[in-house]
Amino acid sequence: MPSKSAAYYKKNPKARAKKKAYDKAYHSTPARKSYRAELARERRKRGVMGKGGKDVSHKKGGGFTMESKSKNRARQGAGGRRKKK
């Protein structure tokens, strides 16, 4: 069963196109490219690049840790809003 947002975008092609354009612009910024490159570098270093499995996650102190995708990607909550203070 698709998420609420996935279902919405499936029903609304204009909104989906707008989101796709936004995402394309956002993920092509130098900051995002740098962020992805940093994580990819760490995955290569750990020998897990291209093999699936856990995500490399940033820690508060600036280091990295391996973490399940669900925990890593859900941390900020829906729409990037924090769940807890």
pLDDT band for position 80 (50/70/90)?
Answer: low
Whether residue 52 is contained in a domain is answered as yes
Q: Which domain holds residue 57?
A: 11-74
Whether residue 35 is contained in a domain is answered as yes
Number of domains in the chain: 1
pLDDT tens per residue across span 12-54: 999 999 999 999 999 999 999 999 999 999 999 999 888 888 9
How far CA 59 is from CA of 4, 27, 63, 75, 84, in Å, comes to 30, 21, 5, 12, 17
Q: How many angstroms from the chain centroid is the CA of residue 65?
A: 15
Whether residue 85 is contained in a domain is answered as no
Whether residue 81 is contained in a domain is answered as no
pLDDT at residue 85 greater than cutoff 80: no
What was the pLDDT predicted at 66? 93
What was the pLDDT predicted at 59? 86
What was the pLDDT predicted at 82? 60
pTM over 0.75: no
